[in-house]
């Protein structure tokens, strides 16, 4: 929200030079488009060892926090990036080669093969959901679909 107010020296009546008081306000709205942006999320995991075990030469164990769960283990894609790719492909009909060139415009090199592998992996992850939806649909007494072109 942006507030544009009169300067204090302008808050004076032009007729009698008396101080003006606020009687209300006028609001207007405008739509602004903010293009998509991609950010890198860096995960830092400190490693810990025991100095006493290092000195004595006994088993030196390294401890580190586990990585957060991701849809594709050891992959660079977050769930938001995967959902964007899948939505663009299936909801808006944007082929992977066009998505590849869009990522290149953001200086991100993602090959169609990589994006395609991600889509396949996501389809595998969503299989239990699809199976449950199909089973629920087939349990219904009547199934209706509007096939009007």
In the chain, the number of structural domains is 1
Residue 117 domain-assigned?
Answer: yes
* Three-state DSSP class for residue 47: strand
- H helix runs in the chain, sequence order: 51-56, 79-86, 96-105, 112-138
**C-alpha span between 87 and 81 (Å, rounded):** 10
Residue 33 domain-assigned?
Answer: no
Residue 80 domain-assigned?
Answer: yes
pLDDT digits (tens, 9 = 90+) for 101-124: 999 998 899 999 999 999 999 999
Confidence at residue 93, expressed as pLDDT on a 0 to 100 scale: 96
Q: pLDDT-based confidence at 33, cuts 50/70/90? A: confident
Residue 5 domain-assigned?
Answer: no
Confidence at residue 111, expressed as pLDDT on a 0 to 100 scale: 94
Residue 106 domain-assigned?
Answer: yes
- For residue 90, what are the domain limits? 71-138
pLDDT digits (tens, 9 = 90+) for 62-99: 899 998 899 999 899 999 999 999 999 999 999 999 99
Residue 146 domain-assigned?
Answer: no
Residue 27 domain-assigned?
Answer: no
40, 23 Cβ separation under 8 angstroms: no
Confidence at residue 106, expressed as pLDDT on a 0 to 100 scale: 87
Residue 99 domain-assigned?
Answer: yes
């Amino acid at each position: 929200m942006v507030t544009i107010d009169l300067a204090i020296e302008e808050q004076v009546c032009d007729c009698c030079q008396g101080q003006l008081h606020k009687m209300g306000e006028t609001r207007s709205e405008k739509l602004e488009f903010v293009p998509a942006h991609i950010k890198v999320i860096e995960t830092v995991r400190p490693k810990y060892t025991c100095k006493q075990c290092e000195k004595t030469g006994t088993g030196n164990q390294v401890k580190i926090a586990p990585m957060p769960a991701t849809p594709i283990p050891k992959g660079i894609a977050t769930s938001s990036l995967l959902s964007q790719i899948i939505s663009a492909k299936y909801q808006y009909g944007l082929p992977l080669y066009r998505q590849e060139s869009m990522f290149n415009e953001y200086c991100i090199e993602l090959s169609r093969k990589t994006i395609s592998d991600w889509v396949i992996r996501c389809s595998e992850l969503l299989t239990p959901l699809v199976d449950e939806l199909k089973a629920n649909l087939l349990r219904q007494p009547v199934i209706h679909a509007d096939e009007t072109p």
